[in-house]
Amino acid sequence: MLCIVSPYSNPYFNLASEEYLLKGFQEDVFLLYRNIPSIVVGKHQNTLAEINLPFVQEREILVARRISGGGTVFHDQGNLNFAFFTSGKEGELVDYKRATRPIIEAMEEMGLDVRLGKRNELLLNGLKISGTASHVFKQRVLHHGTLLFSSEMGNMSAALKSVQERFTDRAVKSVRSKVTNIRDHLTECMDMEMFQERILNHMLQTYDNAKPYHFSETDMKEITALRDSKFSTWEWNFGYSPKYQFCRNISFSAGRLELHMNVEKGVIRELKIEGNFSSQKDIILLEQMLVGTIHDPETIRMRLSGINLSDYIFGLENEELISGMF
């Protein structure tokens, strides 16, 4: 087994490295990495329905999509991510009990009682410390998960505080659970670097022929290309979301309105604005102006640049409408 500690903390690079190791390697691989503050959604989720967009933008938290299913997770430097890449027979690849056993055993050596939950999460004293997911490619499988060691729980809670009732879709919904940091349950003094080293050493000592591996120049080139072409793009992280309907009531100083949108591949396909307001120009012209626009605040802001919105909805400022569309 090749054991890798990623040299980077960029979520787009690290998620690209997972796809690369799954599809480009034949050997068994164990990967550890940490990311700067970021939100990682599951492959089949509606990104905007899972995140607190204003908080995320204000804090400049990166938003990324992984290749596996499951729910949304928050990453920061206090969260250690692990990934196993193994080969096997079709129909026998996905086994969460087998995949998480080494992690559980490593933490048992630290005096922690960790167990696998019903949703394949890892529980410490009944509280969640890890969400896990898997993805199969031919005769190989990726099992990966988070390990909350000293994560900023306030940022996690705020970043994932979404208003899902505004969205109607068939996307996979996240299930919120009570979480805890591993560090708070340790009897010995340990920082993240020590914790990471303990996990890595356990893998090196447990698996036959396990050895450290560093990304080669070729590896770096391939991962970087995949990062730039897929994992860092709006099309993957937002546009890949299943089609959805968005509805919201907006109250402002001069009236109120109801906004209804149909969005597909991240693009507003239909828009209807109704309500109690006065206007000088036909509201249909404003609706037509925004249809075909990406459902993204900055893109809509650019589309409305130079437009006097009050001509269409008297008393409504551009930023009020933009905020109401999310």
Specify the 3-state DSSP secondary structure of 308. Answer: coil
What value, to the nearest 5°, has the Cα angle with vertex 42 and ends 41 and 44? 120
User: What is this structure's pTM?
Assistant: 0.91
Task: Give every CB contact of residue 207 below 8 A, 6+ residues apart in sequence.
Answer: 1, 28, 30, 102
Residue 161 is predicted with a pLDDT of 86
For residues 257 and 287, the answer to whether their CB atoms sit within 8 Å is no
Give the residues of the chain that fall short of pLDDT 70: none
Residue 90 is predicted with a pLDDT of 86
Residue 208 is predicted with a pLDDT of 87
Domains of the chain and any CATH numbers: 2-239 (3.30.930.10), 244-324 (3.30.390.50)
For residues 161 and 52, the answer to whether their CB atoms sit within 8 Å is yes
Residue 107 is predicted with a pLDDT of 96
How far is 3 from 84, CA to CA, in rounded Å? 9
For residue 214, the number of C-alpha atoms closer than 13 Å in the C-beta half-sphere is 2
* Burial (0-12, 13-18, 19+ Cβ within 10 Å), 249: exposed
Residue 218 is predicted with a pLDDT of 98
Residue 162 is predicted with a pLDDT of 82
Amino acid at 92: E
Residue 173 is predicted with a pLDDT of 81
For residues 160 and 95, the answer to whether their CB atoms sit within 8 Å is no
- The dihedral through the CA atoms of 213, 65, 146, 135 has a sign that is negative
C-alpha closest to that of 45 among 244, 233, 325, 293:
244
Residue 254 is predicted with a pLDDT of 86
pLDDT digits (tens, 9 = 90+) for 210-259: 999 999 999 999 999 999 999 999 999 999 999 999 999 999 988 899 99
